[in-house]
Amino acid sequence: MRFTAAIVGRPNVGKSTLFNRLIGRRKSIVDDISGVTRDRIYDIAEWNGKKFYVIDTGGFVAHSHDIFEKEIRRQVELAIEESSVIMYMVDVTTGITDLDLFVAELLRKVNKRKFLVVNKVDNHERLLLAQEFWSLGFDQIYPISSMTGSGTGELLDDIATLIPDEEIKEIDIPKFAIIGQPNVGKSSLINVFLGEERNLVTDIAGTTRDSIHSEFNKFGKNFLLIDTAGIRKKAKVSEDLEFYSVMRAIQAIEEADVCFLVIDATLGVESQDMELFSLIIKRNKGLVILVNKWDLVSKDTNTSTQMEKTIKDKIAPFNDVPILFISALEKQRVFQAIEKGIEVFQNRNRKISTSKLNEVMLESIQKIPPPAYRNHLIKIKYITQIEKDYPLFAFFSNYPDQIKGSYKQFLENQLRSHFKFTGSPIRMLFKEK
**Domain co-membership, 149 together with 279:** no
Distance of CA 286 to the CA centre of its chain: 14
Instruction: Tell whether the model's pLDDT for residue 424 goes beyond 50.
Output: yes
pLDDT of residue 246: 54
Question: Which secondary-structure segment (H or E) carries 88?
Answer: strand 85-91
pLDDT of residue 212: 62
Instruction: Tell whether the model's pLDDT for residue 211 goes beyond 80.
Output: no
pLDDT of residue 194: 78
pLDDT tens column, 281-338: 999 999 999 999 998 887 665 578 888 999 999 999 998 999 999 999 898 998 899 9
218 or 237: which leads in pLDDT: 218
pLDDT tens column, 400-411: 999 999 999 999
**Domain co-membership, 189 together with 154:** no
Instruction: Tell whether the model's pLDDT for residue 259 goes beyond 50.
Output: yes
Work out the percent of the chain whose per-residue pLDDT is above 90: 44
Which residues fall within 8 angstroms of residue 399, CB to CB, at 6 or more apart?
373, 376, 378
Instruction: Tell whether the model's pLDDT for residue 230 goes beyond 80.
Output: no
* pTM, full prediction: 0.62
**Domain co-membership, 195 together with 260:** yes
What phi-psi label fits residue 313: left (phi over 0), alpha (psi between -120 and 50 degrees) or beta? alpha
pLDDT tens column, 137-173: 898 999 999 889 999 999 999 999 998 875 445 556 8
**Domain co-membership, 143 together with 48:** yes
What phi-psi label fits residue 130: left (phi over 0), alpha (psi between -120 and 50 degrees) or beta? alpha
Instruction: Tell whether the model's pLDDT for residue 413 goes beyond 80.
Output: yes
Mean model confidence pLDDT for the chain: 82
pLDDT of residue 70: 61
pLDDT of residue 64: 55
Q: What are phi and psi of 265, to 5 degrees?
A: -60, -30
Average pLDDT over residues 34-45: 56
**Domain co-membership, 40 together with 142:** yes
Domain region containing 83: 4-160
Distances (CA, A) of 8 to 85, 89, 117, 346, 387: 11, 6, 10, 39, 45
Query: Which domain-ending residue is among 348, 373, 395?
Result: 348
Residue 29 lies in a domain: yes
Q: Tell me the C-alpha distance between 335 and 328, whole Å.
A: 10
Average pLDDT over residues 18-32: 67
277 or 216: which leads in pLDDT: 277
Q: What's the total number of domains in the chain? A: 3
Query: Which domain-ending residue is among 135, 160, 185?
Result: 160
Q: Tell me the C-alpha distance between 250 and 283, whole Å.
A: 10
DSSP string of 26-40, one letter each residue: --S---SSTT---S-
pLDDT of residue 244: 42
Question: What per-residue string of b and e applies to 151-176 under the rule 16 or more CB within 10 Å gives b?
Answer: bbeebbeebbeebeeeebeeeeebbb
- Give me the CATH number covering residue 229: 3.40.50.300
Query: Which domain-ending residue is among 348, 377, 398?
Result: 348
pLDDT of residue 216: 75
CA dihedral 137, 23, 85, 212 (to 10 degrees): 110
pLDDT tens column, 53-106: 888 876 655 555 555 456 556 666 776 777 889 999 999 999 998 888 888 888
**Domain co-membership, 121 together with 268:** no
**Domain co-membership, 336 together with 200:** yes
pLDDT of residue 167: 47
**Domain co-membership, 303 together with 367:** no
Residue 323's beta-bridge partner residues? 289
CB 17 within 8 A of CB 146: yes
pLDDT of residue 242: 44
Give the lowest-confidence range in 32-46, 73-87, 130-144, 261-275.
32-46
Residue 23 — very low, low, confident or very high, per pLDDT cuts 50/70/90? confident
**Domain co-membership, 321 together with 344:** yes
pLDDT tens column, 174-205: 899 998 888 888 878 888 887 765 544 444 44
